[in-house]
Amino acid sequence: MLHLRKIKFLIFLFGSYCLPGFSQWFNLVSGTADHLYAVRFSSKDTGIVVGGSLNQSTFLKTTNGGVTWHSEHLSNSKWMYALEYIGNGVFIAGGYNGVMYKTTDYGTSWSPRPSGTTQWIYDLDFPNADTGYAVGLNGLILRSTNGGDNWNMLAYQAPITLLDVHFLNASLGMAVGFDGRIFKTTNAGSTWDELNNEDNRTLTSVCMLDKDTIIACGFEGLILRSTDAGQSWNVVVSGTPNHLQDLTYTGNGVLFAVGNGSILRSSDAGITWTSMNYPVTTNLNAVDVVDVGTAYAVGMAGTIIKNDLSLINIFWDETECMIYPNPAMYDVSIIFPENVRIEEIHIMNSMGMIIERHKTSFLSKIQLSVDAYKPGVYYIQFVGEKYHGIQRFAIAR
């Protein structure tokens, strides 16, 4: 899951309640309680999230940076674990019982693709628009040479469940999974060599930064690093005992790792890691960073969080950012900090749908009537020159 993307790393501090402890990430309203397992964005505003439950699959699409999400449940599918963006509007998704879907219009419509297997698919990776790989249950390894339209099963070395695959190019790739097993191919998956790893903790994700430098993460906060093309591995101090579920590389030595109660960031190609705060308590399963400096992470119970790394460092403290009364009955007043220029606010319902828009004309205070709204939870989205945030408020009568 390598994403060589150039990022402008300017820090943006915001919390869903304007609390400084939430630091860089803020919560989005997904509109679903289903578990979410994979996320891919084609641009900072347009992206797909997949997941599901025992009863149905979940496909979410946004075209406005996660402000609102369109939900779809495709037939004959349940949990969807894997997602990859190929380019030109093409996404591939895979999951339960080998089910695969493809879209060529940025997720507006999906059509099934034959995978040739009923094994669960846990990850997908496309080093180019034609060549793709999938891994999953009981050592499953698939390859496509026509953009995911058809798949062929490849040989594996042991019947061990594989959880992640990453190819540096169409020929050179790595796969990791249960019991700390690591496999490598140099011939487009025709054969795989198992690499030596003395740590038997499950590995959940792998990134090849180049042909020699490889990072893998897994259970109990495990991070492994190799600088000799996988011939030897060093355990890196992650600073967390929690399971890590996904890695992404943004280029320039910067990586993100997410997991159960953790978001980690490295700026030195995985040598050292620092913990990032985020505004949810649910476990995170996947992370994606797009090339304009925006990060998204998804997880259990419909969790989607966002970090706009390209925005200016603006700090709001609780006394400056005020919505009152909260809960409100018939009217609500909003006071903006003097150093923040807000152009427009959006009122959203509990599903994240925009139900009203207001121009603020850079005023420091506005008053809104909420008399027509039913009691419940709502959100106010702030849109400014260098600021974007969401706050929660309630109506109670």
Q: What is the CATH number of the domain that holds 262?
A: 2.130.10.10
**What are 304's two structure tokens?**
């989607």
Rounded CA-CA distance 233/198 in Å is 9
Rounded CA-CA distance 44/290 in Å is 6
Domain extent at residue 351: 322-395
For residue 338, is it within any domain?
A: yes
Q: What is the pLDDT of residue 278?
A: 79
> Looking at the DSSP assignment, which residues form a beta bridge with residue 216?
206, 224
230 or 377: which carries more pLDDT confidence? 230
**What are 51's two structure tokens?**
């997941």
Rounded CA-CA distance 180/247 in Å is 16
Q: What is the pLDDT of residue 172?
A: 98
357-362-365 Cα angle (round to 5): 80
Could you tell me if 285 and 330 lie in one domain? no
107-110, Cβ contacts within 8 angstroms, sequence gap of 24 or more: 107/48, 107/59, 107/61, 108/61, 110/59, 110/72, 110/74
CATH code: domain of residue 375: 2.60.40.1930
For residue 317, is it within any domain?
A: no
Average pLDDT over residues 62-83: 92
Could you tell me if 298 and 330 lie in one domain? no
Of 128, 132, 202, 200, the closest CA to residue 162 belongs to 202
pLDDT at 317 over 60: no
Helix (H, G, I), strand (E, B) or coil at 221: helix
Could you tell me if 254 and 327 lie in one domain? no
Residue 20 sits at φ, ψ, to 5 deg, of: -65, -25
Select from 308, 341, 376 the last residue of a domain. Answer: 308
For residue 9, is it within any domain?
A: no
> Looking at the DSSP assignment, which residues form a beta bridge with residue 333?
324, 367
Residues in the chain, total = 397
346 falls in which pLDDT band (50, 70, 90)? Answer: confident
Lowest mean pLDDT across 152-156, 159-163, 276-280, 320-324? 320-324
295 falls in which pLDDT band (50, 70, 90)? Answer: very high
For residue 5, is it within any domain?
A: no
Q: What is the pLDDT of residue 1?
A: 40
Average pLDDT over residues 194-204: 95
Rounded CA-CA distance 376/330 in Å is 13
281 or 306: which carries more pLDDT confidence? 306
Are the beta carbons of 186 and 211 closer than 8 angstroms? no
23 falls in which pLDDT band (50, 70, 90)? Answer: very low
Rounded CA-CA distance 278/26 in Å is 7
Q: What is the DSSP string of 272-314?
A: S-EE---S--S-EEEEEEETTTEEEEEEGGG-EEEEETTS---
Average pLDDT over residues 87-113: 97
Could you tell me if 334 and 303 lie in one domain? no
Could you tell me if 304 and 332 lie in one domain? no
216 or 10: which carries more pLDDT confidence? 216
The alpha carbon of 248 is separated from its chain's Cα centroid by a whole number of angstroms, namely 9
366 falls in which pLDDT band (50, 70, 90)? Answer: confident
Which one-letter amino acid corresponds to residue 177? G
Could you tell me if 297 and 357 lie in one domain? no
Are the beta carbons of 284 and 260 closer than 8 angstroms? yes
Average pLDDT over residues 135-160: 92
> Which letter does DSSP use for residue 73 in this model?
-
Select from 259, 275, 308 the last residue of a domain. Answer: 308
Q: How many domains is the chain partitioned into structurally?
A: 2
Could you tell me if 200 and 85 lie in one domain? yes
Could you tell me if 76 and 187 lie in one domain? yes
Q: What is the pLDDT of residue 22?
A: 31
Could you tell me if 97 and 237 lie in one domain? yes
Rounded CA-CA distance 50/93 in Å is 8
Q: In sequence order, which residues have a C-beta less than 8 Å from that of residue 287 and are 6 or more positions away? A: 39, 246, 247, 248, 256, 257, 258, 263, 295, 296, 297
Could you tell me if 265 and 372 lie in one domain? no
Select from 241, 276, 308 the last residue of a domain. Answer: 308
Select, from the ranges 21-30, 144-153, 304-313, the one with the highest average predicted confidence (pLDDT).
Answer: 144-153
260 or 349: which carries more pLDDT confidence? 260
> Which letter does DSSP use for residue 380 in this model?
E
For residue 148, is it within any domain?
A: yes
For residue 15, is it within any domain?
A: no
Sheet holding 244-251, edge to edge: 244-251, 254-259, 262-266, 274-275
For residue 315, is it within any domain?
A: no
Could you tell me if 222 and 340 lie in one domain? no
18 falls in which pLDDT band (50, 70, 90)? Answer: very low
**What are 276's two structure tokens?**
């990032």
For residue 316, is it within any domain?
A: no
- The pTM assigned to this predicted structure is 0.75
Could you tell me if 278 and 219 lie in one domain? yes
pLDDT at 8 over 50: no
Rounded CA-CA distance 269/205 in Å is 15
